[in-house]
A and B are shown apart, each in its own frame.
Chain A
Amino acid sequence: MTLRETAPKLAPEQYEANFADISPRMTPRQAAIEAARCLYCFDAPCTIACPTHIDVPSFIKKIASNNLRGSARVILSANILGESCGRVCPTESLCEGACVMVEKGEQAIEIGRLQRYSVDHVLDCNIDLFTAGVPNGKKVACIGSGPASLACATELAKWGYAATIFDKNKLPGGLNTYGIAAYKTRAKDSLREVEMVKRLGIKFEQGKEVGRDAPFPLLESQFDAIFIGVGLGETWSLDLPGSDLHGVYNALEFIERTKTRNFAEVEIGRRVACIGAGNTAIDVVTAAHRLGAESVHLIYRRGESQIPAFRYEFELAQRDTVMFHWHTQPIRVIAESGAVAGLECVKTRPASGATKSSAPEAIPGSNFVIPVDMVVPAIGQKPVTEFLRPVKGIELKKNGTIAVNERNQTGNPKYFAAGDCVNGGKEVVDAVAEGMAAARGLDAWLGHPRAILSRSDA
């Protein structure tokens, strides 16, 4: 089964150009000049705005003094995924958005790019800035190998815990490896970071789905505590006639292919429609455009001012000449000899007496068809926490997220949780911050076990 019409294949160099790093690594000179612009604020707002509270002025001044190792240490001690975050954080809404330069009427300091510049240096040179703590005899299992778990396991390893990560995927890294747009970061970049974490002695059990391949009783008997960082699952499928046709893709599955295959091998329609206007939808339409789709449509039932995507992401899609259909709702996927041929839509308007959050209503008779070969719904990710039902005490909220206390501890005291599976889906940096908080909570719950050094060790 193939798509009705696929986009023409591009030259290999063209794919590489289309998916080239949108915010490339700085040259030493660029970094020096940018670092020099930093005012070195005291009590800096960028540091406050960063969910992991990286001491930004401090790492930037270390770049200025050409102490890149020290700079990377400042970054990584607050956020072990500092390299990814430098690439993928929505900085204009975080650190750079808080930069006092903006208030001064100047460009914010390029904190994200400087951050990546420092960490790339230590990764390039294979410099390990941290060592595992002296074993304290405690073992922790981490479910999932995404940012939340990586951050949690790193903290624990530094304190002497033996951490083992279980992940159902072939490759570690969670969405950092499989999900985030290829022009921000590639799977190999994420894996390089994971290698750094591995060198702290953390064990990785890839291809092991907890609940199925590793049952809970076994985990509970082998580990002193368990951390849950399972993130969210695939995107919700469409509840429309025709949504089971070939050519209707799950958004994450489509994105995953761009991250794990050669670009030329990713099946892509000549004309593509994506439903939704969140950051994932933006990643879908920009990927479709960059893979060579001739026309790319984004369909959203509300107006432009209501889109959940960040402004900066939206502008990326605008630059990729995506056609936006505002106040539009799909009602049917149209087939032609078993393959997707079009998407029938209606225009929408705010329902009478509606509040801001209530769904808009369809305008009768406004039906129209967008001819497309591929439809990708990107209307939010499903929770994947059902597998926790057998665990006594863990409470799941209505939306499937895990309820935790201020220590990131679940209703079952042995279990801690953080990241997308708790916050309902935020950013990598939030998952890291929460994963670290969970590590602190877990450590406190176990009474801060630390190995006592004998005289000869000291």
Chain B
Amino acid sequence: MADLKVKFCGIESPNPFWLASGPPSNTAGQVMRAFDAGWGGAVWKTIGEPIQNTSSRYGAIDYNGVRVMGFNNIELISDRPIEVNLKEIAEVKKRYPKHLVIASLMVESKKETWQDIVKRAEDAGSDALELNFGCPHGMSERGMGAAVGQVPDYTEMITSWAKEAARTPVISKLTPNVTDITQIAQAAERGGADAVSLINTINSLMGVDLESFAPRPVVAGKSSHGGYCGPAVKPIALHLVSSVAKKIKIPIVGIGGISNWTDAAEHIALGASIVQVCTAVMHYGFRIVEDMSDGLNAYMDDHHYRTTEDFRARAVPNVKDWGDLDLNYKVIADINHDLCIGCQLCYIACEDGAHQCIERAPITANANAKKNAHKMEVYVPKIIDEECVGCNLCALVCPVDNCITMRQINTGQPPMSWNQKVASF
């Protein structure tokens, strides 16, 4: 049995799964239920001067009938008084001393104000602090959230104010709504942050009602840009986590599009020590952590990883600049005609959408016997090996598992990247 405990900035988390700051970590009642369900830590819904939220405030996009492929919100930080939040943190810590409660903070950009809230949060018993430099809407217009996270100097400055006052680890939470997130991560590191967490939500507008022309989510016929998250943003989050991992030495908390253990493991493989989840919990509840633990455990056992450190950041060195990729490596597509169901999707994808390397030969003998029973002319797609550029498209669109695979071809040439090629000119 693998050990899911994680040592993080001098504190120990029962497992790498934390609730991200958001509606699921709004109250003591929720956080305690989350701990009962198996979450190792919870980053409290961001605490600051109470705000007033809009109604409605969430939007989602569905994909082909599947709900909430992407999610967005125009919600602000906690709408409850600071004292109430801190009192509840104290209560949770008293009852769950081994679980981690991390206070997420956002206040006016004044040194005293920041240092005051840091002390109060620690006095209440929080195990660490997360500085919210990411909220992309509402707060940034007031000089907070993304307004800080988009400027390296501000990020560094406020991180250093917090560090000056803090006894517990300080995590700076980064916004993806910047040109180069690694600059901001490095600024946080310079400011003394013990860790960074990313990503916060991405600027987005969920859609428009084509009858009323009200954008979504609708507030009295109007809307505002909000933060995008959920399964759709995972690839963006993975990219940003891995690029930050290449640039800083402090630990990383991975956030963005995590719904199950594989998503979590991928974040970890790209450098995250801890992962946080928000949308998937909003969709399905705290119970999802059971399979996240169970599945990660099984994976680690299968691979003889004792702790997540055994595979953390293992994929980071494999994320390369394009110029370092081997141009002499070649794969071509291979269609297993026994598995082919005759949908012709690979054919039309390659013909119209790629490189015209699939031909359709009239069917032979007993392949597709069933369809011949319908007395139809049936074609089987066939790769023209010499033409195939190995782009993957046919394999990506094929609806049958393992029907189209990419097979490596020996080009007889040693590895050669674009950078090597340029250097040899």
A255 contact set on B, CB distance < 8 A: none
CB distance from B35 to the nearest CB of A (A): 35
Whether, in the assembled complex, B343 has its beta carbon less than 8 Å from a beta carbon of chain A, the answer is: yes
B64 contact set on A, CB distance < 8 A: 36, 64
> Which segment of B75-83, B129-137, B221-229, B368-376 sits at the interface?
B368-376
CB distance from A27 to the nearest CB of B (A): 12
CB distance from B403 to the nearest CB of A (A): 10
The answer to whether B376 and A41 have CB atoms under 8 Å apart is no
Whether, in the assembled complex, A191 has its beta carbon less than 8 Å from a beta carbon of chain B, the answer is: no
| Count class of interface residues, chain A | 20 to 34
Whether, in the assembled complex, B299 has its beta carbon less than 8 Å from a beta carbon of chain A, the answer is: no
CB distance from B106 to the nearest CB of A (A): 39
The answer to whether B343 and A100 have CB atoms under 8 Å apart is yes
Whether, in the assembled complex, B316 has its beta carbon less than 8 Å from a beta carbon of chain A, the answer is: no
Query: Residue on A with the closest CB to B66?
Result: A36
Whether, in the assembled complex, A97 has its beta carbon less than 8 Å from a beta carbon of chain B, the answer is: yes
Query: In the complex the two chains form, what is the Cα distance from A42 to B353 in whole Å?
Result: 13
B342 contact set on A, CB distance < 8 A: 41, 45, 100, 103
The answer to whether B66 and A41 have CB atoms under 8 Å apart is no
Query: Residue on A with the closest CB to B344?
Result: A42
A45 contact set on B, CB distance < 8 A: 342, 371, 374, 376, 378
B368 contact set on A, CB distance < 8 A: 103
A40 contact set on B, CB distance < 8 A: 345
Query: Residue on A with the closest CB to B63?
Result: A36
Given A36-B66, A41-B343, CB of A102 within 8 Å of CB of B348:
no
The answer to whether B399 and A42 have CB atoms under 8 Å apart is no
Whether, in the assembled complex, A39 has its beta carbon less than 8 Å from a beta carbon of chain B, the answer is: yes
Interchain pairs with CB closer than 8 A, number: 52
Interface residues of B, dominant DSSP: loop
Query: Residue on A with the closest CB to B352?
Result: A42
CB distance from A92 to the nearest CB of B (A): 12
The answer to whether B376 and A32 have CB atoms under 8 Å apart is no
B65 contact set on A, CB distance < 8 A: 29, 32-33, 35-36, 64
Query: In the complex the two chains form, what is the Cα distance from A39 to B66 in whole Å?
Result: 15
CB distance from B379 to the nearest CB of A (A): 7
Picked from A39, A48, A104, the residue with its CB within 8 Å of the CB of B345 is A39
The answer to whether A41 and B345 have CB atoms under 8 Å apart is yes
The answer to whether B347 and A98 have CB atoms under 8 Å apart is no
Whether, in the assembled complex, A309 has its beta carbon less than 8 Å from a beta carbon of chain B, the answer is: no
Q: Return the 5 tightest CB-CB contacts between A and B, nearest first.
A: A36-B64, A36-B65, A42-B344, A42-B348, A100-B341
Residues of A in contact with B (beta carbons under 8 Å apart): 29, 32-33, 35-36, 39-45, 48-49, 64, 97-98, 100-104
22 sample A-B contacts, Cβ–Cβ < 8 Å, listed by A number:
A29-B65, A35-B65, A36-B64, A36-B65, A36-B66, A39-B345, A41-B342, A41-B343, A42-B344, A42-B345, A42-B348, A43-B379, A44-B343, A45-B376, A64-B65, A97-B374, A100-B341, A101-B341, A103-B368, A103-B370, A104-B399, A104-B400
Residues of B in contact with A (beta carbons under 8 Å apart): 64-66, 341-345, 347-348, 368, 370-371, 374, 376-379, 399-400
Q: Apart from A100-B342, A103-B370, list 11 A-B contacts with CB within 8 A.
A: A29-B65, A39-B399, A42-B347, A45-B374, A45-B378, A48-B377, A100-B343, A102-B370, A103-B341, A103-B368, A104-B341
